[in-house]
Amino acid sequence: MQHDDRSGSQGSDDLEVWIDQDLCTGDGICVQYAPEVFELDIDGLAYVKSADDELLQTPGATTPVPLPLLRDVADSAKECPGDCIHVRRTADKVEVYGPDAA
């Protein structure tokens, strides 16, 4: 996989992440890896956060993956016991990390 080293906001538009709350175990591993991207809500489930640190509670809500946090977000998807974190390319929606990755 090639990484784009562009700086600025466009560098984070290449990948997006979302969480399937129906499968979330509330373990919080994602929050430990990338608290800038993930947060546990009062319901005990994990959600993604917008670039403005707003909790996105709409089912299927996505947020861009900041390039400096790509490894942390990818590790979150790999280590998640609920297999509910999906990281995909923004352009074609192909999953690159998570349960549906090829």
Tokens 């430990």 sit on residue: 32
**C-alpha distances in Å from residue 64, one per residue of 5, 27, 87, 93:** 15, 22, 9, 12
Instruction: Give the Cα separation of 19 and 38 in Å (integer).
Output: 9
Spacing of C-alpha 40 from chain mean position:
13
pLDDT of residue 53 exceeding 70: yes
Where are the alpha helices (H) located in the chain, listed in sequence order?
Answer: 29-33, 70-79
Q: Which amino acid is at 62?
A: T
What pTM was computed for the model? 0.86
**Looking at the domain that runs over 14-97, which CATH code has it been given?**
3.30.70.20
Q: Where are the beta strands (DSSP E) in 1-102?
A: 15-19, 38-40, 46-49, 55-56, 63-64, 85-89, 95-97
Q: Mind listing the pLDDT tens digit for each residue in 56-89?
A: 999 999 999 999 999 999 999 999 999 999 999 9
- Comparing C-alpha atoms, which of 102, 41, 101, 43 is closest to residue 73? 101
